[in-house]
């Protein structure tokens, strides 16, 4: 699920960035530092959408670095148990398959793949129904349901299922 | 015929899922002691009706309208009942009562006069059989699915175990376990190939308790599932039985009224010809298979309806549920009547007795003097006995609230009694016959009127007051 929230961060800036462009430099460094990171609490920071304010800088003793408290708005993505996501398959193996929904990695173990889909090894490992009409392989798009998340301080990993109504393949690149 | 299985379905459903009223009593402040099971009573009552005005239903069930509404609203949300609310003038209300009465034997004459309903919003309710069928099936499906999902690990996290060192992993570790060389997961410690613990005996939630707890929980779920299957088997069977049948459909209130009226018209033209009546019903657009059935039902409610619009339940119920002694009591129910009876008994024992036998036999006896006299004596003794009982019973009865059937009986009795009195005065065996014929028109009329008025308003009548206050 996406959220638009305000976060705060103390940015340290090298004195060489001071000058007319101080603010721009601050923001671009913020983007570089923050976008794409993940915090267990807020989820993945997808994009910074604006700066609320930049506080007074504080010169650090001995280094000359200046610390600015920056309040910024950003879009974060935080997966939840029970949430339905659309994801792209990245890897298929005998144990199941991995998929990505944006920054989130999801593993679907083979017991949560419908029973009528069998694993086929080979150049392109895949799960296929007996009549061959549905196939899951790398780059297949699937709709899945999150059934568990592991949230660390800097990482979120999910496991999902496609063994339920309306879940499974939503497009098949091989068929196009 | 076709409606019976559906009614059974409703009754089973009521008992399976709505046995405990606490679910719907958001405010438990209703002082009335124990009203669990009311929901079942209401549903049962609805199976014996089609469209019914909620005020009427409340009175027949001796429920407060508010309470009934709350229950009906609950069932509306549960999708078992459809309701319609409409502002009606006296005329509008008459359409409904006419429809009810007309479906009986066209004897709505007694009714019409008393119908003085102002412009009020009236609510009507009716079982929605088609939807009930779906809703119950869906509910069972959900119940089963929830349990089965639990049982089949559907939403549980797969565990893996290293056969070499015994270290355990679960699916959330997957990212760390994949190897680029083959298609299996490998142990972090010894690089052995992990095997999924698909042993269904262990169902695990992430970070759940120990294995034993899981196993116990699993047994629990299994047990639950089995018990559910067993206990709901009658309901399931009934669902299967009903599956092939076309669903009874009453349509909207308006359609139903139109159909009922049309049916009555058809029935009037040819008394009991089923083909005719079905045509009449068809006019309203009902599916054909039910017409015969529907007609029967309508007749029921109609008969009751003519007796004051409120009784519908009791007439049919008495027959089934009331033990004979109850009926006798019923006679003496109202104070008026009781008084009358006693007087008569003193002055002329025979009169008291007559009414009891009268109702049943008058038609049969038709002018057979002997028979009548015999009956007279029998009845006389019966009446004496009855009176004694009745004194006791009456006391009891006044304490017991829920006897919807009593209102009904008095009206019948009264008719009988009055005719008897006349008989007594005439003192002629022959005259006996007459009250039913000539006297009926005027006498029974009044009686009906009394009743009818008493019920709609509820408090004009002494009887009504007695019973209501109790
Ligand atoms: Zn190992």
- CB-facing half-sphere around the CA of B153: CA atoms within 13 A: 20
Closest by CA position to A80, among listed A146, A144, A143:
A146
State which fold the A2-77 domain adopts.
Dna Ligase; domain 1 (3.30.1490)
Work out whether strand A104-109 and strand A156-161 pair parallel, antiparallel, or are unpaired: parallel
Contact by Cβ (8 Å): A85, A12 = no
pLDDT of B423: 44
Q: What is the mean pLDDT of residues B365-392?
A: 68
Beta-carbon separation of A111 and B196 below 8 A: yes
Looking at the fold, whether B412 and B457 belong to one and the same domain comes out as yes
A vs B, Cβ pairs < 8 A, gives 57
Average pLDDT, rounded, for chain B: 65
Residue A100: list chain B partners with CB under 8 A.
none
Split at pLDDT 50, 70, 90, the class of A146 is: very high
Residue A77 has pLDDT above 70, yes or no: yes
Q: Do domains A2-77 and A84-171 have the same CATH topology?
A: no
Is the pLDDT score of B469 beyond 80?
no
Q: Which two tokens stand for residue B155?
A: 């939403």
Of B85-89, B310-314, B368-372, the poorest mean pLDDT is in: B310-314
| Number of domains into which chain B is organized | 3
In the predicted structure, residue B372 carries a pLDDT above the cut 90: no
pLDDT digits (tens, 9 = 90+) for B290-334: 333 444 444 444 344 344 444 444 444 433 444 444 444 444 444
- Do the domain assignments include residue B351? no
List pLDDT tens digits, range B144-178: 888 887 776 666 778 888 888 888 888 888 888 88
| Interchain proximity B206–A150, CB inside 8 Å | yes
Q: Would you give the distance in Å from CA B103 to the centre of its chain? A: 19
Set of chain A residues whose Cβ sits within 8 Å of the Cβ of B196: 95, 109-111
Compute the average pLDDT of residues B43-47.
91
Closest CA to B207 of B171, B175, B162: B171
Tell me the C-alpha to C-alpha distance, in Å, between residue A75 and each of A1, A6, A7, A36, A49.
Answer: 10, 9, 10, 11, 7
DSSP for B348-383, written as a single string: -HHHHHHHHHHHHHHHHHTT-HHHHHHHHHHHHHHH
Q: Most confidently modeled of B29-43, B179-193, B353-367?
A: B179-193
Do both B294 and B328 map to the same domain?
yes
Note whether B120 and B142 are same-domain residues. Answer: no
State the pLDDT at residue B154: 63
Cβ(B169)–Cβ(B194) below 8 Å: yes
Name which of B196, B215, B220, B191 is nearest B204 in CA terms. Answer: B215
What was the pLDDT predicted at B267?
72
Tell me which of A24-28, B195-199, B373-377, B440-444 is least confident. Answer: B440-444
Facing A125 at nearest CB: one of B171, B183, B196 = B183
Its CATH architecture, for the domain A84-171, is Beta Barrel (2.40)
Structure confidence at residue B147 (pLDDT): 84
B265 against B465, higher pLDDT = B265
Domain that holds residue B372: 367-469
ipTM of the complex: 0.78
pLDDT at B363: 44
Do B294 and B146 have their domain in common?
no
Angle B277-B281-B282 from CA coordinates, rounded to 5°? 115
Which SS3 state, helix, strand or coil, does residue B80 take?
coil
Residue of A nearest to B154 (CA): A112
Chain A residues at the B interface, defined by Cβ less than 8 Å, are: 91, 93-96, 98, 105, 107, 109-112, 121, 125, 147-148, 150, 157, 159, 161, 163-164
Q: What ranges in B19-64 are assigned the alpha helix state H?
A: 38-47, 54-61
Average pLDDT for chain A = 91
Domain presence at residue B244: no
**A171 neighbors A140 (Cβ within 8 angstroms):** yes
What is the structure's pLDDT at A105? Answer: 92
Give the SS3 label for residue A15: helix
pLDDT per position as a tens digit, B396-414: 655 554 444 444 444 444 4
| pLDDT at residue B408 in the model | 42
Per-residue pLDDT tens for B235-261?
A: 989 998 888 888 888 888 888 888 888
Task: Give the closest-approach CA distance of B78 to chain A in angstroms.
Answer: 24
Least confident piece of the model among A72-81, B72-81, B164-173, B214-223 = B214-223
Q: Which of B201, B221, B239 is the last residue of a domain?
A: B239
Please tell me whether residues B196 and B284 are part of one structural domain: no
The proportion of chain B whose per-residue pLDDT surpasses 90, expressed as a percent, equals 6
Q: Which residue ranges make up each domain of chain A? A: 2-77, 84-171
Contacts of A148 in chain B (CB under 8 A): 157, 171-172, 206
Question: Is the predicted pLDDT of residue B189 greater than 70, yes or no?
Answer: yes
Q: Checking DSSP bridges between strand B159-161 and strand B195-196, what pairing results, if any? A: antiparallel
Instruction: Dump pLDDT digits (tens) for A95-134.
Output: 899 999 988 999 999 889 998 999 998 889 999 999 888 9
State the nearest Cα–Cα gap between A138 and chain B, in angstroms.
Answer: 14
Residue among B158, B178, B206 minimizing CB distance to A109: B158
Same domain, B312 and B276: yes
- Give a yes or no: residue B4 inside a domain: no
Interatomic CA distance for residues B446 and B241, integer angstroms: 48
Phi first, then psi: give them for residue B337, nearest 5 degrees.
-60, -40
Which one of B239, B258, B276 terminates a domain? B239
Cα separation of A87 and A98, whole Å? 9
Q: Look at residue A106 in the predicted model and tell me its pLDDT.
A: 95
pLDDT tier, B216 (very low <50, low <70, confident <90, very high otherwise): confident
Query: Maximum distance among all alpha carbons in chain A?
Result: 71
CB contact under 8 A, A148 and B196: no
Least trusted range by pLDDT, from A115-119, B116-120, B287-291: B287-291
| Residue bearing the bigger pLDDT, A25 or B381 | A25
- H-state helical runs in B284-348: 291-306, 312-321, 324-331, 335-347
* Nearest CB neighbour to A157, from listed B154, B156, B175: B175
Confidence of residue B98 (pLDDT cuts 50, 70, 90): confident
Question: Do residue B123 and residue B24 come from a single domain?
Answer: yes
Q: Which residues surround ligand 1, an ion (CB under 5 A)?
A: B 162, 164-165, 167, 187, 189-190, 192
The full DSSP string for A155-168 is -EEEEEE--STT-E
User: pTM for the complete prediction?
Assistant: 0.45
């Amino acid at each position: 699920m996406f959220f638009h929230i305000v976060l705060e961060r103390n940015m340290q800036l090298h004195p060489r960035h001071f000058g007319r462009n101080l603010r721009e430099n601050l923001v671009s460094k913020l983007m570089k530092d923050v976008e794409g990171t993940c915090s267990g609490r807020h989820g993945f920071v997808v994009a910074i959408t604006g700066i609320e304010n930049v506080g007074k800088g504080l010169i650090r003793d001995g280094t000359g670095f200046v610390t600015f408290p920056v309040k910024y708005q950003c879009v974060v993505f935080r997966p939840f148990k029970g949430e339905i996501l659309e994801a792209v398959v990245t890897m298929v193996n005998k144990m199941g398959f991995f998929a990505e929904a944006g920054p989130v990695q999801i593993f679907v173990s083979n017991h949560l793949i419908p029973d009528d889909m069998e694993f086929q090894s080979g150049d392109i490992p895949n799960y296929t129904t007996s009549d061959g009409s549905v196939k899951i392989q790398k780059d297949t798009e699937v709709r899945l349901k999150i059934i568990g998340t592991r949230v660390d301080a800097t990482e979120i990993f999910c496991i999902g299922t496609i063994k339920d109504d309306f879940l499974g393949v939503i497009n098949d690149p091989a068929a196009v | 015929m076709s409606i019976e299985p559906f009614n059974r379905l409703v009754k089973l459903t009521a008992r399976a899922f709505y046995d405990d009223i606490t679910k719907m009593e958001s405010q438990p402040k209703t002082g009335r002691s124990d009203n669990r099971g009311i929901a079942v009573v209401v549903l049962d009552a609805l199976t014996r009706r089609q469209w019914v005005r909620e005020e009427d239903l409340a009175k027949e069930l001796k429920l407060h309208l508010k309470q009934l509404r709350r229950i009906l609203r609950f069932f509306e949300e549960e999708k078992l009942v459809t309701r319609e609310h409409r502002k009606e003038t006296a005329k509008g209300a008459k359409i409904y009562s006419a429809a009810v009465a007309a479906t009986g034997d066209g004897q709505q004459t007694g009714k019409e006069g008393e119908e003085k309903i102002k412009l009020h919003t009236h609510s009507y309710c009716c079982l929605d059989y088609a939807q009930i069928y779906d809703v119950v099936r869906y509910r069972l499906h959900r119940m089963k699915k929830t349990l089965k999902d639990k049982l089949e690990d559907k939403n549980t996290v797969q565990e893996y175990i290293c056969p070499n060192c015994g270290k355990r992993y679960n699916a959330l570790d997957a990212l760390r376990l994949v190897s680029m060389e083959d298609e299996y997961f490998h142990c972090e410690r010894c690089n052995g190939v992990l095997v999924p613990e698909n042993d269904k005996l262990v169902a695990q939630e992430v970070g759940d308790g120990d294995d034993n707890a899981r196993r116990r929980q699993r047994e629990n779920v299994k047990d639950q599932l089995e018990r559910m299957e067993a206990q709901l088997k009658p309901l399931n069977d009934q669902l299967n039985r009903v599956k092939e049948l076309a669903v009874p459909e009453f349509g909207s209130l308006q359609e139903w009224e139109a159909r009922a009226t049309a049916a009555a018209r058809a029935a009037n033209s040819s008394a009991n010809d089923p083909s005719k009546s079905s045509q009449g019903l068809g006019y309203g657009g009902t599916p054909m298979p039910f017409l015969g059935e529907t007609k029967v039902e309508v007749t029921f409610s109609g008969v009751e309806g003519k007796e004051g619009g409120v009784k519908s339940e009791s007439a049919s119920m008495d027959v089934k549920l009331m033990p004979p002694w109850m009926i006798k009591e019923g006679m003496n129910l109202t104070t008026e009547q009781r008084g009358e009876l006693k007087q008569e008994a003193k002055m002329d024992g025979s009169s008291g007795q007559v009414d009891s036998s009268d109702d049943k036999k008058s038609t049969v006896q038709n002018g057979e003097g002997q028979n009548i006299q015999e009956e007279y004596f029998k009845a006389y003794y019966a009446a004496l006995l009855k009176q004694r009982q009745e004194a006791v019973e009456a006391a009891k009865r006044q304490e017991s609230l829920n006897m919807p059937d009593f209102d009904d009986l008095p009206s019948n009795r009264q008719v009988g009694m009055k005719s008897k009195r006349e008989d007594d005065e005439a003192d002629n065996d022959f005259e006996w016959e007459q009250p039913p014929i000539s006297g009926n028109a005027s006498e029974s009329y009044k009686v009906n009127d009394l009743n009818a008025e008493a019920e709609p308003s509820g408090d004009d009548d002494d009887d009504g007051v007695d019973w209501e206050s109790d």
